[in-house]
């Protein structure tokens, strides 16, 4: 492995609880925080082609098991933060928060991206899982995407090369990761867009348990129904395993109420799925991504 540039950080046995919104999880063998794209490319070229790699943004839809991650975890949000107008489009790198993107679009008199303010993560994560809320999804507004491969080479790919579905995106080429995207939006009114964002954030504050560490929605909404309704109808609101609790405020949120482990969360997820299947006859599909090994 080549030497990492001085401004970047390569940390060994780094606790990943510091990098996830649930605030749980074991250590990564290696964690790389790039200062910029060129240093990220140089680092990726230095890795063995068999090295397991995991890219994370704010870790807001991620559960890292207590045994940690074998391989290299790459943190995106500190380096990839470019956000600008590029011709007819808005370009945002993977590390830009979705909330910042929504407000920037509004300031540029662009409408259609207001819903991004309700996604508690980064552009990279939103692209990878087709994140959405309040009836809109990320890939509805993507024109092109910028990706990086294992050799550190970048690629501009058209939106139609990807196959988005509910909370999932099929990549055209394996072993590529998102660096950013160009978003196509309609001309709009800045004040109207800001009012939409303000209303959306107020709804989010009123309905979601933002005062505890969580990872947002635990399960996807089944077609024609809501996971939260099914969980609540199964009598699970407030149910707790260890330090992991099904939020009394929103039944599709698991919150860390203190001294929580990743195993507590994973056992609670399993209990929710089993109980909803038994009582409602519905198989819930997990939205949260799980990586790493058991302790």
287 among known catalytic residues: yes
In the CATH scheme, what architecture does the domain 211-291 have? Alpha-Beta Complex (3.90)
pLDDT at position 4 is 47
Contact predicate 275/229, CB 8 Å: no
CATH match for 9-75 among 2.70.180.20, 3.90.226.10, 1.20.1250.20, 3.30.43.10: 3.30.43.10
93 among known catalytic residues: no
How do 289-291 and 62-64 pair as beta strands? Answer: parallel
CATH match for 83-196 among 3.30.465.10, 3.40.50.300, 3.30.70.270, 3.40.190.10: 3.30.465.10
65 among known catalytic residues: no
| φ and ψ at residue 160, rounded to 5 degrees | -70, -10
> CA quadruple 204, 209, 210, 211: dihedral positive or negative?
positive
pLDDT at position 8 is 81
* Among 30, 60, 167, 247, the one annotated catalytic: 167
Helix residue ranges, H only, the chain: 37-46, 98-107, 123-129, 190-207, 227-233, 262-280
Q: Do 83-196 and 211-291 show the same overall fold?
A: no
Is the pTM here over 0.75, yes or no?
yes
Would the pLDDT of 235 be above 60? Answer: yes
* Among 81, 217, 234, 247, the one annotated catalytic: 217
pLDDT at position 29 is 98
Work out the mean pLDDT of the chain and round it to a whole number: 94
The predicted-structure confidence for 25-55, as pLDDT tens digits, reads as follows 999 999 999 888 999 999 999 999 899 999 9
The predicted-structure confidence for 141-172, as pLDDT tens digits, reads as follows 999 999 999 999 999 999 999 999 988 999 99
Average pLDDT over residues 181-207: 96
pLDDT at position 238 is 97
Cα separation of 189 and 192, whole Å? 5
pLDDT at position 277 is 98
The domain spans of the chain are 9-75, 83-196, 211-291
Residues forming beta bridges with residue 168, ordered by sequence position: 165
* Among 14, 39, 93, 287, the one annotated catalytic: 287
């Amino acid at each position: 492995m080549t030497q990492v540039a001085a401004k970047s950080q390569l940390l060994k046995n780094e606790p990943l609880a510091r990098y996830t919104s649930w605030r749980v999880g074991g250590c990564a063998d290696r964690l790389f925080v790039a200062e910029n794209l060129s240093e990220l490319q140089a680092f990726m070229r230095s890795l063995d082609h068999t090295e397991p790699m995991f890219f994370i943004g704010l870790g807001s839809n991620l559960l890292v098991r207590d045994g940690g991650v074998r391989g290299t975890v790459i943190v995106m949000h500190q380096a990839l933060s470019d956000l600008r107008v590029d011709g007819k489009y808005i370009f945002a790198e993977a590390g830009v928060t979705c909330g910042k993107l929504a407000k920037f679009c509004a300031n540029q008199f662009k409408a259609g991206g207001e819903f991004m303010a309700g996604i508690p993560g980064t552009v990279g994560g939103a692209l990878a899982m087709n994140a959405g809320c309040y009836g809109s999804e990320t890939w509805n507004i993507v024109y092109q995407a910028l990706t990086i491969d294992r050799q550190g080479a970048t690629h501009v790919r058209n939106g139609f090369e990807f196959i988005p579905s509910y909370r999932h995106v099929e990549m055209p080429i394996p072993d590529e990761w998102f660096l950013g995207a160009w978003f196509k939006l309609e001309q709009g009114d800045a004040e109207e867009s800001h009012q939409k964002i303000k209303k959306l954030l107020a709804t989010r504050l009123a309905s979601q348990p933002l005062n505890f560490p969580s990872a947002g929605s635990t399960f996807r909404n089944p077609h024609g129904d809501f996971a939260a309704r099914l969980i609540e109808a199964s009598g699970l609101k407030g149910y707790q395993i260890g330090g992991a609790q099904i939020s009394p405020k929103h039944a599709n949120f698991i919150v860390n109420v203190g001294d929580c482990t990743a195993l507590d969360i994973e056992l609670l997820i399993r209990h929710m799925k089993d109980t909803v299947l038994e009582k409602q006859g519905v198989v819930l599909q997990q939205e949260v991504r799980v990586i790493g090994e058991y302790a």
